[in-house]
Amino acid sequence: MLRYNKNMENTEIIKRNIPRDLFLHLLAIVTLYWSAVSFVTMLWQYINYFFPDVLNYYPGSFNEPMRFAIASLIIVFPIFILVSWFLNKIYRKEAQVRESKIRKWLIYLTLFITSLVIIGDLVSVINTFLGGEIKIRFILKALSILLVAIVIFVYYLDDVRRDTPTKLAKYFACVTSIIILIAVIGAFFIVGSPMTARLMEFDQQKVSGLQEIQSQIVNYWQRKGSLPNSLSALNDPISGFKIPLDPQSNASYEYNVKDAENLSFELCATFNNLSQKTPSNIYMMGSGMNENWEHGVGRVCFERTIDKQLYPPLNTIKK
């Protein structure tokens, strides 16, 4: 496509850069969708944190989605703002780019998707209300989706009707950037810093190591009819089992026999943070032992007693 610049003495022929236009418009739309989904995800995790569900056995499960939302907004949203700014700069120089079919098709696709989201969200709210199951968590999550979808729909519906970029675009970018910045900063107070996340990962590995040792102690009792005198007795060169060490200090875990006759013992480790209820530390029903792995900060010992009826010696089972 060609156009002539009449402001210059000599006629200048400018060729449309369609691949560039396609790339920039697609990148803008994809980063918009990604940012919107990430922001809604972050809002949902805020709701999960401040309005916990009594049926949610793992309240710490919001950390991973929250961290992914933070990472996405830190990287993807600035790209969206930068690409949008660059496109507006192109629009001022090349008006025909703003009127291109690529741009309009993508905007109307966005309007179509947000319309479906709004309709589906409202239907879900009414359906849940009629079922008598409306709860504050559900209402807030539905409102978060509705609000984000309406903002995107209204902004792009207004933008597609204009021949030139609206001056409100700058204010819209500033306001949304401030809101997202506040949300991201607040999220760090919930999920903690990268160092805190690393220390929590160490704690999870320590719990896993203690669980593995406990299983081997029970197996030792069933095969030999007594508790091991030390953890080194559990090492088995034939099966290849080797006692796990503390991943943080590379030291051995502490093991003490409390009552050999009643098969009571304790395992100790040093933890960095208070535990969260996760699948690795909840109470395991029917295991024959209290497997509650919740812990505080510092040295914590877990006392265990093997139930002889649930875990009889193997020679007794054969008889």
Residue 61 phi, psi dihedral angles, 5° rounding: -70, -10
Cα–Cα distance measured from residue 49 to residue 63, given in angstroms and rounded to the nearest whole number = 10
CA angle in degrees (0–180, nearest 5) for 286-245-62: 60
When mean pLDDT is compared across 151-155, 243-247, 302-306, 314-318, the lowest value belongs to 314-318
Domain residue limits, the chain: 2-192, 196-318
With H, G, I as helix, E, B as strand and everything else as coil, classify residue 222: helix
Contact status, residue 202 vs residue 250, Cβ threshold 8 Å = no
Question: For 282, phi and psi rounded to 5 degrees?
Answer: -80, 165
Longest CA–CA separation in the chain, Å: 107
How high does pLDDT run on average in the chain?
A: 82
- Which has the higher per-residue pLDDT, 71 or 285? 71
Residue whose structure tokens are 């409390």: 258
Q: Give the residue ranges of DSSP H helices in 51-167.
A: 63-93, 95-98, 101-130, 136-161
CA dist 237 → 60, 79, 151, 243, 255 (Å): 38, 54, 64, 11, 21
Q: Write the pLDDT tens digit of every residue in 105-150.
A: 999 999 999 999 989 888 887 887 777 666 788 888 889 999 999 9
Looking at residue 16, what is its pLDDT?
61
Mean pLDDT of 176-200: 86
For the segment 216-230, the average pLDDT, to the nearest whole number, is 90
Print the SS3 string covering 249-281: CCCCCEEEEEECCCCEEEEEEEECCCCCCCCCC
Percent of the chain at pLDDT > 90 equals 38
What does DSSP assign to residue 259?
Answer: E
Around Cβ 146, how many Cβ atoms within 10 Å?
15
Residue 254: both structure tokens together: 């502490």
* Model confidence pLDDT, tens digit, residues 304-316: 999 888 888 887 5
Calpha distance 181→176 (Å, rounded): 8
Give me the amino acid identity at 20. Answer: R
**Nearest one of 233, 242, 179 to 212, comparing CA atoms:** 242
Nearest to 252 by CA among 283, 286, 206: 206
> Is the model's pTM score more than 0.85?
no
| SS3 assignment, position 241 | strand
